[in-house]
Amino acid sequence: MKFTVVKPVILASASPRRKEILSLLGFPFAVVPSNVPEDLALGNNDFESYARQLAAMKTQAVANEEQGSIVIGADTIVVHNGKIYSKPESKEQARTFLKELSGESHTVITGVGLYMGDEICTFSVQTKVTFRELDDMLINAYVESGDPMDKAGGYGIQTAGALLVEKIEGDYYNVMGLPIAMLTEYMRKLSLMELKGGVSFIDN
Is residue 101 a part of any domain in this protein? yes
* CATH number for position 172: 3.90.950.10
Is residue 108 a part of any domain in this protein? yes
Check residue 45 and give its pLDDT. Answer: 75
Check residue 35 and give its pLDDT. Answer: 86
Check residue 204 and give its pLDDT. Answer: 42
Catalytic residues: 75
Check residue 41 and give its pLDDT. Answer: 66
Check residue 129 and give its pLDDT. Answer: 98
Q: How many domains does the chain have?
A: 1
Vertex 166 angle, CA 181 and 86, to 5°: 65
Is residue 89 a part of any domain in this protein? yes
- In this prediction, the residues of the chain whose per-residue pLDDT falls under 50 are 199-204
Residue ranges of the alpha helices (H) in the chain? 16-22, 47-63, 91-101, 136-144, 172-176, 180-189
CA dist., res. 4 & res. 28, Å (int): 9
Is residue 127 a part of any domain in this protein? yes
Residue 138 is part of which domain span? 3-195
Which stretch of DSSP H or E encloses residue 168? strand 165-169
Is residue 202 a part of any domain in this protein? no
